[in-house]
Amino acid sequence: MSGRAAALALSALALAAGARAQERAIPLDQLRSGSSFLSGDLRALQNDEFANPALLWVERGEKLWREPAGSAGKACASCHKDDAASSMRGVATRYPRVDAASGKLMNLEARINDCRTARMGAEPFRYESEEMLGITAYVAKQSRGMPIAADIGGPARTHYDTGRAFYYQRRGQMNLSCAHCHEANWGKRLFAETISQGQPNAYPAYRLEWQTMGSLERRLRACLSGVRAEMLPYGDPAYRDLELFLAWRGQGLPIETPGVRR
Amino acid sequence: MVARVQIPKEAKRGEIIEIRIVIQHPMETGFRRDDVGRPIKRNVITAFSCKFNGAQIFRADMSSGISANPYLQFYTVAQASGEFEFYWIDDEGNQGLEHQSIVVSG
């Protein structure tokens, strides 16, 4: 009896902790995309269907989509319908997600490389290579305007919890967590910059500071470096867990890929 | 090198048309150093030109002050149907060439 009561009390505790873990520091109706912190000029550049420099990478991605590679002699377009505008529509809104076959949390980059190695018999693309940025930007662009809809239920839950813990963990010589800037102080000035909410909905994006395209992982590394923390290597699972937390946190924001950012 | 060119496919004679081009290029200034402190060699697009039916209508001499992936926008008066030719070359000798044609009526 007492054992049962203790179990009940424990599960009630767990439920309470679970509910707390899902509280949103920024309510859904106050979410603001990074583009709303940009100057009008940059917003116009992002929305320009020609001048947006990220479209150079998208163009390359479109070629890769149709180009057969690897021992199976297949292209992306061989299995997925040739028209990515319909077959890839909405796909990017659901990533990162747990792959049913391997049980691993995959972001769009990992999913594409998994397709290349397992189904096409091709070499995986390197992180931040022109090819990887191109194909992810091309695929994600097909979801432009659609709201982020990441699923944190079921097997994704532990990844979400880890990502959330990472987000609120102080780190680096500055001893700052992500939340100290992007939740407690967004909208305020940090020298010449306005601190954004740190939303992931435009990546991969063209960043003026880089003068090139970069993935969300590269952006996260830039933040780690900014607080003078140790940068985890590319492909570290911690980034993907964090990406899942960010996707949940920005749920409902429209995808802007390929974005332009400062 | 990838480049995107935008000109109207058709125009009326005498109409002012807009020409836009974005070229993918790092425009390495030559002032930066790599992770171990070695200077990175300058590599920028030094010359860009646009010809219409063989006659040069626009030229730009660029240097390290231009940002990566340069975007150029200029105007011309549509006088006849024909072909625009865009040509550029960088410090390493890599050349780019794009063609686009226009039909002028009236």
Cis link prior to A53 (omega < 30° from 0)?
no
pLDDT of residue A81 exceeding 90: no
Cα distances (Å, whole numbers) of residue A195 to A165, A184, A185, B28, B34: 21, 10, 7, 29, 29
Do A211 and B27 make contact, defined as CB atoms within 8 angstroms? yes
Q: How far is B35 from chain A (nearest CA, A)?
A: 15
**pLDDT (average), residues A243-255:** 96
Residue numbers in B near A231 (CB within 8 A): none
Residue numbers in B near A134 (CB within 8 A): none
Q: In this structure, are residues A142 and A88 in contact, taking their beta carbons and an 8 Å threshold?
A: yes
Q: In this structure, are residues B78 and B15 in contact, taking their beta carbons and an 8 Å threshold?
A: yes
Do A211 and B68 make contact, defined as CB atoms within 8 angstroms? yes
Residue B12 — pLDDT band, cuts 50, 70, 90? very high
The per-residue pLDDT for A73 is 93
Residue A252 — pLDDT band, cuts 50, 70, 90? very high
Q: For testing the chain A interface, which of B1, B7, B20, B22 should be mutated: the one with the most A CBs within 10 Å?
A: B22
User: Domain extents for chain B?
Assistant: 3-105
Q: In this structure, are residues A167 and A242 in contact, taking their beta carbons and an 8 Å threshold?
A: yes
Output the pTM of the full model. Answer: 0.89
Strands B16-23 and B3-6: antiparallel
Residue B31 — pLDDT band, cuts 50, 70, 90? very high
Distance, CA of B25 to CA of A89 (rounded, Å): 30
Do B2 and A60 make contact, defined as CB atoms within 8 angstroms? yes
Predicted-complex ipTM score? 0.88
Cα distances (Å, whole numbers) of residue B51 to A179, A222, B19, B88, B100: 54, 43, 12, 11, 11
Query: What's A199-236 look like in SS3?
Result: CCCCCCEEECCCCEEECHHHHHHHHHHHCCCCCCCCCC
Q: How far is B58 from chain A (nearest CA, A)?
A: 19
How many beta carbons lie within 10 A of that of residue A238, not counting itself? Answer: 14
Residue B106 — pLDDT band, cuts 50, 70, 90? confident
B7, B9, B15, B16: CA torsion to nearest 10: 0
DSSP H helices, chain A, are 2-21, 40-47, 55-66, 76-79, 84-87, 108-114, 130-141, 156-168, 178-182, 216-226, 237-249
Q: How far is B47 from chain A (nearest CA, A)?
A: 20
Using one digit for the tens of pLDDT, what is the confidence trace for A16-63?
A: 555 556 789 999 999 999 999 999 999 999 999 999 999 999 999 999
Across chain A, what does the average pLDDT equal?
Answer: 91
CATH 2.60.40.10 fits B3-105, yes or no: yes
Domains and CATH numbers, chain A: 29-261 (1.10.760.10)
Highest mean pLDDT among A14-28, A77-91, A243-257: A243-257
> What is the token pair recorded at A22?
């899902």
The per-residue pLDDT for B75 is 97
Residue A53 at interface with chain B, using a CB cutoff of 8 Å: yes
Search chain B and give the residue with CA nearest A60. B2
Q: Which of A219, A72, A83, A207 minimizes the C-alpha distance to A138? A: A83
Q: For testing the chain B interface, which of A211, A225, A231 should be mutated: the one with the most B CBs within 10 Å?
A: A211
The per-residue pLDDT for A83 is 87
Using one digit for the tens of pLDDT, what is the confidence trace for B66-77?
A: 999 999 999 999
Among the partner residues B20, B26, B68, nearest to A51 by beta-carbon distance: B20
Q: How far is B32 from chain A (nearest CA, A)?
A: 13
Any residues with CB less than 8 A from the CB of A87 and at least 6 apart, and which?
A80, A81
pLDDT of residue A192 exceeding 80: yes
Q: Which of A189, A203, A216 minimizes the C-alpha distance to A260? A: A203
Lowest mean pLDDT among A21-25, A184-188, B74-78, B82-86: A21-25
Residue A1 — pLDDT band, cuts 50, 70, 90? very low
Do B68 and A50 make contact, defined as CB atoms within 8 angstroms? no
For residue A6, the cross-strand partners are none
pLDDT of residue A8 exceeding 60: no
The per-residue pLDDT for A23 is 81
Using one digit for the tens of pLDDT, what is the confidence trace for A155-176?
A: 999 999 999 999 999 999 999 9
Q: At B83, is the secondary structure helix, strand, or coil?
A: strand
CA triple A132-A133-A134, angle to 5 deg: 90
Q: Which of A136, A134, A138 minimizes the C-alpha distance to A57? A: A134
Each as own residue / partner, the long-range contacts of residues B33-38 (CB below 8 Å, 24 or more positions apart, any chain) are none
The per-residue pLDDT for A21 is 62
Using one digit for the tens of pLDDT, what is the confidence trace for A93-137?
A: 999 999 999 999 999 999 999 999 999 999 999 999 999 999 999
Residue numbers in A near B69 (CB within 8 A): 53, 56, 211-212
Distance, CA of A17 to CA of A184 (rounded, Å): 22
Across chain B, what does the average pLDDT equal?
Answer: 95
Say whether A223 is catalytic. Answer: yes
Q: For testing the chain B interface, which of A41, A49, A56 should be mutated: the one with the most B CBs within 10 Å?
A: A56
